[in-house]
């Protein structure tokens, strides 16, 4: 699964408080705001390290990005059967419009167009609700008639789907939601997505139940690449493949995969691409599984990619995959960081502040891979995940493992963008703390994640005979607490300077401040008034922060202070705070090692769940005044081959200047095999 939930954490949370003010540096546009409309902010990301790749790696990436862009129309059509004609007429009206561009009708139309481009169709990418136009049908029909006179591709009232387009845009009861999950409704008939047509939920379920064999240890992902409909009264699947549905787009994907093939970095990567081509050519789900296994087990290449029908959140029954592609390459610098930590795993374990009985005599660190995205496409564009964890098939994960990566240039762009959005100024207590965070939060936040993932979860051991599930419903909260405390404790260790991972003994304070602020206050902005904290990571952060606040009270280690009626976190003694983190780590490790459910439950219930309603109201109010867009997305860089006199590619140039609508219009013009 692509870890979409992680995005929300970064966008809304303090995790996004920034590092360098790159967004103001014209030479590094990472995090630049390219466009802002409705509830959306469109940012730019950069691709550090691309220019240092070999020519073959650049060519490999180039053809894979072409394969990624070639699939764009597939997702649009999957998201709703009138989306492609809708896009055609909206773009034609926009480009041929010769009236006043400050006319309120036109401005409302422009906003609607930008929303539709962002949603890859008429529906919000997150809520899946239909967009509501702020202009009138009369105005729009008049513009469309004018556009039709100027551009043959524009639609007019004589078009066969015109009536449906007008209903889609102006009738709120017509196909109102892309994915309906409401209990009791026929989820297929009431969802506007285009994975099904003319069939009921019951017919679809009966169809798949008849296909499934419960004794198959390696079941294919039924329905992943098909549209289900009826033919002569019988339920049938129409496969997405060459010669099937979306053939023209898939042919172009395959043609570019074939061009990429000679540049594969390992023979296994070459074999996996061949299986992917076979899958696109035949529609055979067993070929997709073969591809997935080869892909999962091949961990050596620098350049890697996802291209296919992957996530099924868009299907209320969770069967059919939305088309997406992400092309990426290993971020050597960041991956070096995780290797250094991983290689020193035993040192960290031996010096951990827990009872030696609970330490692992022999510990092996995991070295997480950090990547930079080169292109985002399909369901991963413009809204994108910050991590990838694939494949999705459970039996493949069990037998062959999975790949889990974080996309550092995307998190960097979020981080850069959040700088200057007013968040720090509103919530961080004073200028010196803000400066420290500006300088060191990006690196310490990343190191915190590395320590948490590479060492924290793998540290410690259970005493013999202890049930690993002894902590039951509180297991995941306490496990995240343990991993976070391990990371927090070591973030302040001078050993990190010795390893060359940090260059200032005070840098850890940036993460400490952010962590306490988030755990005590700012993460509450994601909780509705009157509700408890439920999500495991949020509970864990609250547990740690509230526990440290209370247990440091006698020495005034951390306090909540009021200034001009506003609450601020004030840390008076960072070293003592580190001591408290170590002390709590020892206790949480004891609870885990001994399977002490009662003690674990008591900690969670006392510190992690209940919200102070007054403070909560204050946080929500202060956050609302900041006017930070709740959703963010990205424009892609533009890759252009540089050729010599005889047409050979000598370099791939990367450019970061394209705007949001220009990029959308260029994609519609150059990568739209399904609309002509
Ligand atoms: Zn974790």
Pairwise pLDDT comparison (472 vs 192), residue with the higher score: 192
> Cβ contacts of residue 135 below 8 Å, gap of 6+?
105, 106, 108, 109, 112
DSSP 3-state assignment of 52? helix
For ligand 1, the distance from its centroid to the CA atom of residue 638, given in whole angstroms, is 35
For ligand 1, the distance from its centroid to the CA atom of residue 480, given in whole angstroms, is 5
**Is residue 553 scored above 60 in pLDDT?**
yes
For ligand 1, the distance from its centroid to the CA atom of residue 543, given in whole angstroms, is 15
For ligand 1, the distance from its centroid to the CA atom of residue 350, given in whole angstroms, is 21
**Is residue 1 scored above 80 in pLDDT?**
no
Residue 160 has a pLDDT of: 81
Residue 182 has a pLDDT of: 85
Instruction: Summarize pLDDT for 153-165 with one digit per residue, the tens.
Output: 556 656 788 999 9
For ligand 1, the distance from its centroid to the CA atom of residue 452, given in whole angstroms, is 6
For ligand 1, the distance from its centroid to the CA atom of residue 12, given in whole angstroms, is 19
β-partners of residue 635 are 44
The predicted model scores a pTM of: 0.84
* Phi and psi torsions of 34, nearest 5°: -90, -35
Instruction: Summarize pLDDT for 221-265 with one digit per residue, the tens.
Output: 999 999 999 999 999 999 999 999 999 999 999 999 999 999 999
Residue 153 has a pLDDT of: 56
Query: For residue 386, what is the DSSP state?
Result: S
**Is residue 590 scored above 80 in pLDDT?**
yes
For ligand 1, the distance from its centroid to the CA atom of residue 279, given in whole angstroms, is 34
| 365 close to 454: Cβ distance less than 8 angstroms | yes
For ligand 1, the distance from its centroid to the CA atom of residue 345, given in whole angstroms, is 17
**Is residue 474 scored above 70 in pLDDT?**
yes
User: Is the bond into 521 cis (omega within 30 degrees of 0)?
Assistant: no
For ligand 1, the distance from its centroid to the CA atom of residue 636, given in whole angstroms, is 30
**Is residue 526 scored above 90 in pLDDT?**
no
For ligand 1, the distance from its centroid to the CA atom of residue 536, given in whole angstroms, is 10
* Phi and psi torsions of 259, nearest 5°: -65, -30
**Is residue 515 scored above 80 in pLDDT?**
yes
**Is residue 456 scored above 80 in pLDDT?**
yes
For ligand 1, the distance from its centroid to the CA atom of residue 369, given in whole angstroms, is 15
**Is residue 18 scored above 80 in pLDDT?**
no
Instruction: Summarize pLDDT for 322-375 with one digit per residue, the tens.
Output: 999 999 999 988 888 988 999 999 999 999 999 999 999 998 777 778 999 999
Side-chain half-sphere exposure of 303, counting CA atoms within 13 A = 29
Residue 469's pLDDT band (boundaries 50, 70, 90)?
confident
Distance CA 90, CA 524 (A): 40
For ligand 1, the distance from its centroid to the CA atom of residue 509, given in whole angstroms, is 21
Residue 627's pLDDT band (boundaries 50, 70, 90)?
confident
Percent of the chain with pLDDT over 90: 80
Residue 385 has a pLDDT of: 87
Residue 11 has a pLDDT of: 32
For ligand 1, the distance from its centroid to the CA atom of residue 479, given in whole angstroms, is 7
For ligand 1, the distance from its centroid to the CA atom of residue 483, given in whole angstroms, is 6
Can you tell me the mean pLDDT for 97-120? 97
**Is residue 458 scored above 80 in pLDDT?**
yes
Can you tell me the mean pLDDT for 477-485? 95
For ligand 1, the distance from its centroid to the CA atom of residue 196, given in whole angstroms, is 37
For ligand 1, the distance from its centroid to the CA atom of residue 53, given in whole angstroms, is 32
For ligand 1, the distance from its centroid to the CA atom of residue 621, given in whole angstroms, is 30
Residue 13's pLDDT band (boundaries 50, 70, 90)?
very low
Instruction: Summarize pLDDT for 129-138 with one digit per residue, the tens.
Output: 999 999 999 9
Residue 27's pLDDT band (boundaries 50, 70, 90)?
low
Can you tell me the mean pLDDT for 39-56? 96
Residue 235 has a pLDDT of: 97
Residue 535 has a pLDDT of: 86
**Is residue 608 scored above 80 in pLDDT?**
yes
For ligand 1, the distance from its centroid to the CA atom of residue 542, given in whole angstroms, is 15
Can you tell me the mean pLDDT for 647-666? 97
Instruction: Summarize pLDDT for 69-105 with one digit per residue, the tens.
Output: 999 999 999 999 999 999 999 999 999 999 999 999 9
What does the block give as tokens for 180? 């309906």
The mean pLDDT of the chain is 92
**Is residue 393 scored above 80 in pLDDT?**
yes
Residue 676's pLDDT band (boundaries 50, 70, 90)?
low
Closest CA to 373 of 390, 391, 361, 385: 385
* Helices first, then strands: H and E counts in the chain: 25, 14
**Is residue 462 scored above 90 in pLDDT?**
yes
Distance CA 98, CA 119 (A): 26
Can you tell me the mean pLDDT for 550-569? 97
Residue 10 has a pLDDT of: 34
For ligand 1, the distance from its centroid to the CA atom of residue 284, given in whole angstroms, is 36
Among 304-313, 331-340, 480-489, the minimum mean pLDDT is found in 331-340
> Cβ contacts of residue 663 below 8 Å, gap of 6+?
635, 636, 638
């Amino acid at each position: 699964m692509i870890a979409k939930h992680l995005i929300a954490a970064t966008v809304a949370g303090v995790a996004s408080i920034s590092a360098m003010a790159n967004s103001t540096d014209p030479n590094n546009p990472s995090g630049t705001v390219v466009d802002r409309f409705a509830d959306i902010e469109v940012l730019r990301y950069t691709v550090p390290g691309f220019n240092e790749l070999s020519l073959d790696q650049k060519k490999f990436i180039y053809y894979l990005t072409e394969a990624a862009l070639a699939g764009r129309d597939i997702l649009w059509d999957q998201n709703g059967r009138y989306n492609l004609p809708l896009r055609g007429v909206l773009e034609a009206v926009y480009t041929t419009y010769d009236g006043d561009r400050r006319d309120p009708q036109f401005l409302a139309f422009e906003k609607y167009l930008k929303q539709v481009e962002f949603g890859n169709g008429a529906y919000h990418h997150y809520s899946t609700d239909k967009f509501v136009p702020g202009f009138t049908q009369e105005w729009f029909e008049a513009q469309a008639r004018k556009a039709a006179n100027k551009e043959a591709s524009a639609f007019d009232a004589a078009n066969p789907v015109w009536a449906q387009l007008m209903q889609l845009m102006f009738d709120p009861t017509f196909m109102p939601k892309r994915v309906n999950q409401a209990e009791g409704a026929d989820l297929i008939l009431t969802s506007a997505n285009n994975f099904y047509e003319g069939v009921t939920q019951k017919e679809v379920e009966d169809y798949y139940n008849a296909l499934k064999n419960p004794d198959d240890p390696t079941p294919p992902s039924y329905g992943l690449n098909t549209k289900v409909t009826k033919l002569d009264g019988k339920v049938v699947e129409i496969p997405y493949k060459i010669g099937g549905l979306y053939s023209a787009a898939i042919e172009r994907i395959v043609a570019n995969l074939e061009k990429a093939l000679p540049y594969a970095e390992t023979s296994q990567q070459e074999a996996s691409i061949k299986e992917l081509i076979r899958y696109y050519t035949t529609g055979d789900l067993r070929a997709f599984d073969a591809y997935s296994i080869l892909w999962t087990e091949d961990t050596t290449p620098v350049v890697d990619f996802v291209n296919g029908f992957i996530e099924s959140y868009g299907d209320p029954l969770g069967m059919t995959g939305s088309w997406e592609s992400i092309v990426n390459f290993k971020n050597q610098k960041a991956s070096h960081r995780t290797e250094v930590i991983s290689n020193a795993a035993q040192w960290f374990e031996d010096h951990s502040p827990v009872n030696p009985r609970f330490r692992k005599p022999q510990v092996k660190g995991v070295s997480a891979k950090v990547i930079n995205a080169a292109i985002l496409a399909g369901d991963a564009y413009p809204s994108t995940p910050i991590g990838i964890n694939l494949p999705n098939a459970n039996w493949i994960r069990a037998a062959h493992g999975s790949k889990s990566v974080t996309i550092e240039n995307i998190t960097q762009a979020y981080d850069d963008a959040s700088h200057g959005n007013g968040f720090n100024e509103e919530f961080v207590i004073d200028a010196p703390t803000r400066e420290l965070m500006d300088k060191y939060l990006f690196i310490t936040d990343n190191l915190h994640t590395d320590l948490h993932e590479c060492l924290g979860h793998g540290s410690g051991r259970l005493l013999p005979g202890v049930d690993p599930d002894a902590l039951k419903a509180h297991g995941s909260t306490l496990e995240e607490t343990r991993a976070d405390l391990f990371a927090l404790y070591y973030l302040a260790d001078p050993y990190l300077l010795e390893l060359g991972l940090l260059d200032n003994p005070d840098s850890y304070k940036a993460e400490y401040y952010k962590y306490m602020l988030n755990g005590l206050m700012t993460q509450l902005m994601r909780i509705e008034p009157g509700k408890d904290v439920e999500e495991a990571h949020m509970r864990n952060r609250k547990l740690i922060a509230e526990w440290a606040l209370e247990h440091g009270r006698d020495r005034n280690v951390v306090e909540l202070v009021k200034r001009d009626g506003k609450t601020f976190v004030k840390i008076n003694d960072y070293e003592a705070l580190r001591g408290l983190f170590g002390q709590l780590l020892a206790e949480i490790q004891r609870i885990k090692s001994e399977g002490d459910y009662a003690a674990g439950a008591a900690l969670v219930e006392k510190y992690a769940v209940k919200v102070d309603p007054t403070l909560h109201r204050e946080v929500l109010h202060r956050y609302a005044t900041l006017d930070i867009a709740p959703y963010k997305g990205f424009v892609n860089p533009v890759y252009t081959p540089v050729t010599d006199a005889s047409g050979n590619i000598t370099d791939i140039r990367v450019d970061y200047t394209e705007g949001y609508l220009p990029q959308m219009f260029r994609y519609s013009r150059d990568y739209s095999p399904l609309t002509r």
